[in-house]
Structure 1
Amino acid sequence: MKPISIVIIALNEEKRIGRLLSDLVGQSYRHFEVILVDSNSDDLTLQVAKGYQAHLPDMTIHKMDQRGVSLGRNTGAAIAKHERLLFLDADVRLPPDFLDNAMQALDDSKLEVAGVYRSAEHLSTKYKLGYSLFNSGLYASQFFFPTAVGACLFSTQRVHKELNGFDEQIELCEDCDYVKRASKTWRYRMLPASVKFEFDPRRLEQDGYFKTGGLYLKANLRRLFLGEMRNREIPYQFGHYEH
């Protein structure tokens, strides 16, 4: 079976990083390494993560002096030793068969870059409806203007290097820019709906359900008509969520 490098970016995630690492310990697919890139956290994220190294012996931890989503992902990819890459945020959750199903889907579809739908299985009806609408947008846009959720995104070393990684000048929708550029050379698709990840709703709860949806709708409409945002046209702060 093909090995995979899992790059996790974290910033002050002491309450959540253990959940994701526990999910990785419980994966039925075992051919992976974990690269945790800490964006100079102020809390106990690193200490919690180190507690899982005995259970994830192929895990390395890298602490950055600077903060940045794209910087963290690019740093992790540079350390990765396997061709297949999976980028994860520290506050996602994965079912035990996630890697098994995802790797099979990637092989079946011959995809190098692929997005993953969000699951709202354990959330309220409000979130189920919202996530369903969001996933529908991901499905429709993949054919003409690819968008993605960087919290769970598959790529390869070949693609990442040819793209020069994530654009570190972009603060909002850097993941969408990544797959849009990738789609010009490689076929980009969402994995089947049977392959999903769970996304911590704290971001929606803190910033507001409708406000967050409106922000990303506005951002992607701007991208569609005016291009990428490299000059804080729509301000966004990495790691501003309450912990």
Structure 2
Amino acid sequence: MTPISIIIITLNEEKRIGRLLDDLSKQSHQQFEVIVVDSNSDDNTCEVARGFEQALPSLTVHKMEQRGTSLGRNTGAEIAKHERLLFLDADVRLPPTFIANALHQLESKKLEVAGAYMNADNLSVGYRLGYIAFNAGLFATSFFFPTAVGACMFSTKRAHNEIGGFDTDITLCEDCDYAKRAAQTWRYRMIPVSFWFDPRRLEQDGFFKMGWTYFKANVRRFFFGEMRKNEMEYKFDHYKDAN
């Protein structure tokens, strides 16, 4: 099966990066490299990541001087050795067969760029309903105005380079912009695999507030285009650890 480069962006994720790297070490498909791109963390994120060098022999930890979600993903794509790319945030979790199942779907559907669904297992009924609604939106928009969750997103070096990577001038919905631009050349779809998405974002921002923020952002994008002048301010790392 196809080898893959896994790019993980981090910023002060010492409590979570180890969980994701442990998940990767247990994947049924092991033909991959892991590139941790750190946005100059103030904590021990890089040290924790390097502690997995034995469990993940093809692990690289790259610390940037500047901070930025899109900058980190683009930096990782430049370092990547393999054609197939998987962009991850540090606070997601993956089941053991995630990569194998995803690659099967990507190859059988001949997809260059694709998204994955959010798994709400072990969350409250309210969150589950919210995730169902959000996933339904991801599926529906994939056919005419792609939206995506950059926390878990597939691409290829060819597609990434031809669209110019993630737009570093966009601070909100840069992942949706990436999917939209990619879909202008290649067919973009959601594939039937899911990842566990840390609910701290929903808990700290508030479920309805966060949902309303993204709804407004995508409606605005649909009618007026991408936001490059901080029309809706949103910070890369404002989430605090609950434990």
TM range, smaller chain: over 0.9
In the alignment, the residues of structure 1 paired with residue 124 and residue 59 of structure 2 have an alpha-carbon distance, to the nearest angstrom, of 34
Deviation at 1:122, TM superposition (A): 1.7
The one-letter code sitting in structure 2 at the alignment partner of 1:23 is D
In the alignment, the residues of structure 1 paired with residue 35 and residue 19 of structure 2 have an alpha-carbon distance, to the nearest angstrom, of 16
* Aligned 1:44-55 pairs, distance under 5 A: 44-55=44-55
Tell me the number of residue pairs that the alignment of Structure 1 and Structure 2 aligns. Answer: 241
The residue that corresponds to 1:239 in the other structure is 237
Q: Deviations over 1:169-200 (max 9, x none)?
A: 000000000000000000000002xx100000
The one-letter code sitting in structure 1 at the alignment partner of 2:182 is A
The one-letter code sitting in structure 2 at the alignment partner of 1:103 is L
TM-score (norm: length of structure 2): 0.98
List structure 1 segments (4+ residues) > 3 angstroms apart after TM superposition.
none
Is 2:128 aligned against 1:128?
Answer: yes
The residue that corresponds to 2:75 in the other structure is 75
The residue that corresponds to 2:89 in the other structure is 89
In the alignment, the residues of structure 2 paired with residue 5 and residue 122 of structure 1 have an alpha-carbon distance, to the nearest angstrom, of 29
Unaligned runs of 5+ in 2: none
Q: Among the aligned pairs, what percent are the same residue? A: 68
In the alignment, the residues of structure 1 paired with residue 142 and residue 2 of structure 2 have an alpha-carbon distance, to the nearest angstrom, of 26
Is 2:199 aligned against 1:185?
Answer: no
* Aligned 1:206-217 pairs, distance under 5 A: 206-217=204-215
TM-score (norm: length of structure 1): 0.98
Is 2:215 aligned against 1:221?
Answer: no
In the alignment, the residues of structure 2 paired with residue 77 and residue 240 of structure 1 have an alpha-carbon distance, to the nearest angstrom, of 25
The one-letter code sitting in structure 1 at the alignment partner of 2:48 is V
In the alignment, the residues of structure 1 paired with residue 142 and residue 47 of structure 2 have an alpha-carbon distance, to the nearest angstrom, of 39
The residue that corresponds to 1:112 in the other structure is 112
In the alignment, the residues of structure 2 paired with residue 57 and residue 122 of structure 1 have an alpha-carbon distance, to the nearest angstrom, of 32
The residue that corresponds to 1:142 in the other structure is 142
The residue that corresponds to 1:155 in the other structure is 155
The one-letter code sitting in structure 2 at the alignment partner of 1:214 is W
In the alignment, the residues of structure 2 paired with residue 167 and residue 122 of structure 1 have an alpha-carbon distance, to the nearest angstrom, of 34
Deviation at 1:124, TM superposition (A): 1.1
Q: Deviations over 1:174-227 (max 9, x none)?
A: 0000000000000000002xx100000001101111000000000000000000
SS of the residue 1:116 aligns to = strand
Q: Deviations over 1:92-122 (max 9, x none)?
A: 0000000010000001100000000000012
Unaligned runs of 5+ in 1: none
The residue that corresponds to 2:173 in the other structure is 173
The residue that corresponds to 1:200 in the other structure is 198
The residue that corresponds to 1:10 in the other structure is 10
